[in-house]
Structure 1
Amino acid sequence: MRISALLILVALSLFASGCPKDVPPAVSLTPEQKAEQEREATAAAALDHAMQLMHDGQFLDPETALDYLDQALDLDPTLTTARYQRAGILITKERYDEALADLDYIVEHRPDYMQAHYTRGFLMLQRNDFREAAREYTKVIKADSTMAEAYVRRGLSYLNLDRADEAVDDFTNALALDPANLDANYNRGMAYMRIREFELALKDLSQAFILDSDNSRIIMARARAAMELKLFTRAAADLQRAIAMEPSRNALYALLAEALKGTDDMDGAIEALRKASALAQASGDEGMAETYRRQLEEYLDQTYP
């Protein structure tokens, strides 16, 4: 009886581990299947070589990385990561049509690949296709509502579509996520300017100035907001600061003339307009030079009737 029990235990052990006769026969691949496996393995290796050249989100040698990515996609066009990385390199080279072709392929075959939608939105902004850009960033925001930059870029799209109220909402959402976001502060200020909320615009543009006090674009925008609020002395100070950074920009002198006129400094305004006209003339912008000359004549007539 003991021997029978032992035999049963041995049999069960063999059954559990699988007897030789239970092992399925090896599947033999056709030559085509073997070739396909080899192509996929070679493509994966090329992609791996490319990714080894990446450090801190950037390729150390973009040209070599691009060669590897081209090889990978020639062998296996379905490699999503390779397509996305190639699109990124092509964008840095301003080969936007080729980059867009890669991104279009990805969003068609992998609609859940949000990085591709985000980058495609960037290209749509580059092309001034603001409706399509807004659609792409809406997809990104629905997938991840914590991306401040997605709100900023959709807000820019809305602002260019004259949907300033919606732009304000998006920039506000971005600032709730990242209060120090320079683009959100600046562009919400510009959106407030669009809807003539000048006090709010001045507040946002002043915050943007705190974040980047050497940006003449921000200083110029803040001066415009101050002028709308009849804060001419403040606007003039901002414009003089901007002129110190960009002394050859004729538009700054023209704005300074308006600000100085608001402070009743007509001599200063006249001198600023003369400078604006001379700079426009020197740069070959005859149209603006003539505009400034006509404005100068008006100022002269008002000052010395």
Structure 2
Amino acid sequence: MSEGIKDTSGLSEAAAQSRASVLRSRAESYIALSRHDAAIADLTESIALVPDNARAWRLRGESHRVIERYDTALDDFDEALKLEPDSAYALGSRGQTYAAMGRLEEAMADFEHALTLSPDSLWILEAKADALVDLDRLDEALTEHGKIIALNEELAYSWVARGDLYQRMNFYPEAIDDYTKALEADPDYVRALSRRGEALRMADRYEEALADLNRALELEPGNDRALGSRGAVLSELGDNEAALKDLDAAIELDPDYIWAYRVRGEIFQELDRHEEAVADFTRALHLEAEE
């Protein structure tokens, strides 16, 4: 039971409604604090008191979704949508749940319905774009990212998200442009610096890449991806000793960092350190097989 819960049998209807309302409000604060089990306890009591409140079902579903209890979350969102069939929030959240379960077509149906009700909802557009990427419908995902950026060009995250998609599609100049836009909005955005550094590396612009990755690591020294990328850049610039130091640090931070093993293996191979190269390639193959 959540904090302060008491025996509620025998409450009048007005008292039950009042208690249920306070429980819902407290649950929202628990959710903001990421105390989802406490939120679920409050919402469960609230639903027992007032079963026809769609918000309570939706909030409980959201808590279940965040802690990856997806089947239970779906049940709650279904109940919320029985009470409020045109809730864009419940539809979007249920779509996110379907997407997390790999049920992408059902997710898309919910996102499409939600966007007919709330066409400018950034988080639903983002969720739809992510689902389109998972469906390998990348051009359509780009269109959704364009809509997101058009709604608010000041959001650095939105430029980075589209930049990441461009990079996935090997459109490196476009990715670099988007990361640059993100950094105009937020000059110390580590992800934008790290990802632009990687895109610059892929475009063979190594000195510029190094500058971005150095800045990213000044801001966040323990960023394993930036360390891995800088290691690759340093290797391209002929400094294998420094490259290995970065890759060692990246792997120490994330022992399952497949790409870092592959790059380090290639450097070992170039240095005729073949036993170490074999060990890294073997580790990379083992991790890939586990995915």
CA distance in 2, matches of 1:284, 1:100: 34
Q: Does 1:50 align with 2:23?
A: yes
Deviation per CA, 1:235-284: give whole Å up to 9, x if none: 1111222333444555544422432344xx31x23321244136536865
Q: Does 1:231 align with 2:205?
A: yes
Whichever of the two has the greater Rg, that structure is: 1
Equivalent of 1:153 in 110, 114, 127:
127
CA distance in 1, matches of 2:143, 2:210: 31
Residues 125-140 of structure 1 aligned to structure 2 (within 5 Å): 125-140=99-114
Structure 1 unaligned regions, length at least 5: 1-37
CA distance in 1, matches of 2:121, 2:257: 45
CA contact (8 A) 1:59 1:65 kept: no
CA distance in 1, matches of 2:249, 2:93: 43
SS in 1 for 2:191: helix
Residues 30-49 of structure 1 aligned to structure 2 (within 5 Å): 41=14, 43-49=16-22
Q: CA deviation at 1:90?
A: 4.4
CA contact (8 A) 1:148 1:175 kept: no
- The one-letter code matched in structure 2 to 1:136 is D
- The one-letter code matched in structure 1 to 2:145 is F
Structure 2 unaligned regions, length at least 5: 1-10, 273-291
- After superposition, the Cα gap between the structure-2 partners of 1:107 and 1:292, relative to the gap in structure 1 and judged at 3 Å, is same
Equivalent in the alignment of 1:191: 165
CA distance in 2, matches of 1:245, 1:153: 29
- The one-letter code matched in structure 2 to 1:239 is L
Q: CA deviation at 1:202?
A: 0.6
- After superposition, the Cα gap between the structure-2 partners of 1:166 and 1:40, relative to the gap in structure 1 and judged at 3 Å, is farther
Equivalent in the alignment of 1:115: 89
Q: Does 1:166 align with 2:137?
A: no
Identity of paired residues, percent? 24
- After superposition, the Cα gap between the structure-2 partners of 1:120 and 1:284, relative to the gap in structure 1 and judged at 3 Å, is closer
- After superposition, the Cα gap between the structure-2 partners of 1:259 and 1:58, relative to the gap in structure 1 and judged at 3 Å, is closer
Q: Scaled by the length of structure 1, what TM-score is found?
A: 0.70
SS in 1 for 2:18: helix
Q: CA deviation at 1:121?
A: 2.3
CA distance in 2, matches of 1:289, 1:205: 23
Q: CA deviation at 1:153?
A: 1.7
Q: CA deviation at 1:54?
A: 7.6
CA contact (8 A) 1:87 1:98 kept: yes
CA contact (8 A) 1:141 1:150 kept: yes
Q: CA deviation at 1:233?
A: 0.7
Q: Scaled by the length of structure 2, what TM-score is found?
A: 0.73
Q: CA deviation at 1:286?
A: 9.8
